[in-house]
Amino acid sequence: MLKVEQLYKSYPNRPVLQGINLEIKSGEIYGLLGPNGAGKTTLINIICHLLNADQGQVYIAGQSWRPSHRYLLGVAPQKDLLYQSLTCAEHLYFFGRIYGVAERDLAKRVQQCLRLVGLELRADSLAENLSGGMQRRLNIAIALIHQPKLLILDEPTASLDIESRFEVWQLIRQCQRQGMTLLLTTHLLEEAERICDRIGILKQGRLIAEGTLDSLKTLIPAAEVLVIQTPTPEIAMQRARALGWAIRNYNQDLLFWVPEVLELNQIINLFSGISLTSIARQPVRLEHIYLELMNQNSPTTGQ
């Protein structure tokens, strides 16, 4: 559905995108991760033709960019583009006409979109009277009014409470079930784990890793991760090194990468003679992969 080839973009003071290659298959949810300044928003702006690349090509539905592609794209930016004095329905009528939805079809599309995002009972409510989660869902409904094939969501659940976040996740899955392809950026690693079919990680304008969650897990040479609390961390690290375990310190947590799953009594025996306050066993998660890649320089790709 979307293909990006050798995309470069620089500003006078720094390079932003450095040779991005990316392909998103029809019907999948693709999550784009990366720290602030990694190039996520610039990439989205180029895909949407809001910004010109210095070099490279963007293909949508197998064709290089052309004005008609605007009608294949739906975009919900991080900041909701809402008029507080308009109702939900008025927003959709307004943007539907901008997108050129035929007048004979517009009322039906408005009702369909309100139903899809769970706002059909709030059709006549002003945007200013909606909760944050409802405003975000209305923002997505606006992006859907013209029935796009590719939906781009920039930080779709930023600043939302957990209940509203789950509602948006459910909506994203509904869009996929209706045959849409979705590209989303997020800082929430749990969000990417839960809803994305494939994940790409950007760092300093380069796509340093890409793949399914399972394939990305292979980048961490561990069957599970141990988080240890101890008053004598240096001694614990010496024991881990003797066992051949990799050691990481993230956010003041002491992590050991264990190459095989061990029983708790085995772990305790391996640290015999060392005072341990707590032991927590974790599966390899996206946060471990992400933090590791942020501290590496070499790009790699999963499947």
- Alpha helices, H only, 157-232: 162-177, 189-195, 213-217
Residue 14 clears pLDDT 60, i.e. is over it? yes
**Are the C-beta atoms of residues 145 and 107 closer than 8 Å to each other?**
no
Residue 132 clears pLDDT 50, i.e. is over it? yes
Residue 220 clears pLDDT 80, i.e. is over it? yes
2-216 classified as CATH 3.20.20.140: no
Average pLDDT over residues 13-37: 94
pLDDT of residue 62: 86
Domain chopping of the chain, boundaries: 2-216, 221-283
Q: Which CATH number fits domain 221-283: 3.30.870, 3.30.70, 3.30.1450, 1.10.8?
A: 3.30.70
* Mean pLDDT score across all residues of the chain: 91
Beta sheet of 198-203, edge-to-edge order = 73-76, 150-154, 181-185, 29-33, 198-203, 206-211
CA distances (Å), origin 282, targets 5, 228, 268, 285, 299:
37, 11, 16, 8, 26
**Are the C-beta atoms of residues 286 and 199 closer than 8 Å to each other?**
yes
pLDDT of residue 297: 58
pLDDT of residue 173: 94
Instruction: Tell me which residue of 199, 195, 197, 148 sits closest to 22, measured CA to CA.
Output: 199
Residue 298 clears pLDDT 80, i.e. is over it? no
Average pLDDT over residues 190-209: 95
Cα dihedral sign, 73-79-83-87: positive
